[in-house]
Amino acid sequence: MSDAVKVGFVPFSAAARGTLVVFCDEALKFGSVASKALGDAAGTIKRAAAATRFKGKSGSALDLLAPEGLKVGRLIVVGAGKATDLKEFDVLKLGGAVAGKIGAADTAVTVIAELPGGAMNADQAASIASGILLRAYKFDRYKTKKKDDDQGPVNIGLSLAVADVAATKKAYASAGAVVDGVVLARELVNEPPNVLYPDEFAKRAAQLKKLGVEVQILDVPAMTRLKMGALLGVSQGSAHDGRTVIMRWNGGKKGEQPIAFVGKGVCFDTGGISIKPSASMEDMKGDMGGAACVVGLMHALAARKAKVNVVGAIGLVENMPDGNAQRPGDIVTSMSGQTIEIINTDAEGRLVLADVLWYVAQKHKPKFMVDLATLTGAIMVALGTDHAGLFSNNDELAQRLTDVGLSTGEKVWRMPLGPEYDKQIDSQFADMKNTGSRNGGSITAAQFLQRFVDGTPWAHLDIAGTAMGAPKTDINRSWGSGYGVRLLNALVAEYYEAKK
Ligand code: MN
Ligand code: ZN
């Protein structure tokens, strides 16, 4: 949880302190609560707007210090665009814009949750709070000195003035659970690899027990008994043993078939013997972004007591060069019995997922599986960093992911699968090899994974471009983005959760 900003909810009648934030539309109109709070300052605002050509465009802001006619020390007018028909994601971004503007503000901030057309409803007000907290999140645990010019929010007590405090608190109980899940995923991605190796990652996942999640950790002997030869081959070169963690949230009907989410958790990827170049290798601490998302998602679902049975499974390894490391040319036997010739030890994520997908398909027989993996650089060549690559053997699941991608702003773009790609991963010595050619590299990776889902409806999200290092957005300034938590939380809420 970000400790920089704390959000509380107060009634509209509460007096503003410190900095006042209000929303206006493109006609520079305010709602009745804001208008009343602004009182005599209307003329000042008009003059300031004219002087700075402020037109109320969505996310833009007018910043007035010690405005004439007001008791507060600072007034920020945030544009809400046309302010009609705002979708949940629009409102979330408005919250982000607020957090972006308050900066190193006064320690007290009051935000009036009202649009020119009337008070925000409880869900919208909760989205404003969520947007503020997502934007304010910073990873600065390892900075021992604060810079003087650090403009980040400093312990701001933010009061969100709302029409109905009780209803907003109730809405925020759910929305805040998702914020916490996103923040948890970001934390895991941002942590350095000397701190967050497989065993430590597993311990952090085990903290979900506090929320009622069942957590089972498979260590090397347990995975050896299960014959997870593909995953174990990757981890054998590291001083840190691999782990597989199975999390279960049973919020649905007893015995009801679960849905499943599977994450690649390569805590550090040097490439192994097929070692990567040095430039930007440090970014490979984020090669566990899929696993981080699954843990963040399980947190969100459990904390908001989602009415659904869910399995989260993550394969945690470190891919290192070593005397005991796996070699190109090695042939490993996966848990499925299928053999894999290792061509490039840097194509390790699919080897980890092969065994975890197979395990989940066999052991939990889910309705569907969605895996997330920072799998290929090729997906960034294809899609840049604004869409995750989506591959699926099921059109309904693919369409649902596409729809929630648009509504949450965590967008996906469907890529093809097809048997014609299989010949790229045919091996002359084993059932398959772990890499194809340079062309279609994200597709052959997905084609490889598909061999381990055993016919289960499945979707694969290649998040190499979206999980970390993506451009900063209205609701994220952190390197680790927490991508996927809001997307998959929405998938569950929209389509798979028993309605209240
Ligand atoms: Mn790799
Ligand atoms: Zn990798």
Helix (H) or strand (E) holding 408: helix 395-408
350 assigned to active site: yes
SS3 call for 82? coil
Read off the DSSP letter of residue 468: B
What b/e string do you get for 262-301 counting C-beta neighbours within 10 Å, with b at 16 or more?
bbbbbbbbbbbbbeeeeeeeeebbbbbbbbbbbbbbbbbb
CA of 317 to the centre of ligand 2 (A): 10
What b/e string do you get for 389-406 counting C-beta neighbours within 10 Å, with b at 16 or more?
bbbbbeeebbebbeebbe
**Which ligand lies nearest to the CA atom of residue 346 in the structure?**
1
- Candidates 446, 478, 472; CA nearest to 459 is 446
CA of 349 to the centre of ligand 2 (A): 5
In the chain, the amino acid numbered 196 is L
Q: Tell me, what's the pLDDT at 147?
A: 64
Q: What is the DSSP string of 314-377?
A: EEEEEE---TTS--TT-EEE-TTS-EEE-S-TT--HHHHHHHHHHHHHHHH--S-EEEEE---T
Separation in Å, CA 44 to CA 64, 68, 211, 272, 388? 9, 7, 50, 63, 46
CA of 346 to the centre of ligand 2 (A): 6
User: What is the pTM (predicted TM-score) of this model?
Assistant: 0.97
Read off the DSSP letter of residue 473: B
CA of 243 to the centre of ligand 2 (A): 16
Helix (H) or strand (E) holding 222: helix 220-225
In the chain, the N- to C-terminal Cα span, in Å, equals 28
Q: Tell me, what's the pLDDT at 2?
A: 45
276 assigned to active site: yes
User: Which entry of 276, 307, 367, 414 is annotated as an active-site residue?
Assistant: 276
User: Which entry of 74, 93, 135, 350 is annotated as an active-site residue?
Assistant: 350
Extended strands (E) in 224-338 = 243-250, 259-269, 309-319, 331-333
Rounded CA-CA distance 304/296 in Å is: 12
Residue 102 · residue 153 · CB < 8 Å: yes
Instruction: State which residues of the chain have pLDDT below 70.
Output: 1-3, 104-106, 146-154, 500
Q: Tell me, what's the pLDDT at 53?
A: 96
260 beta partners: 311, 369
CA of 285 to the centre of ligand 2 (A): 10
Q: Tell me, what's the pLDDT at 1?
A: 39
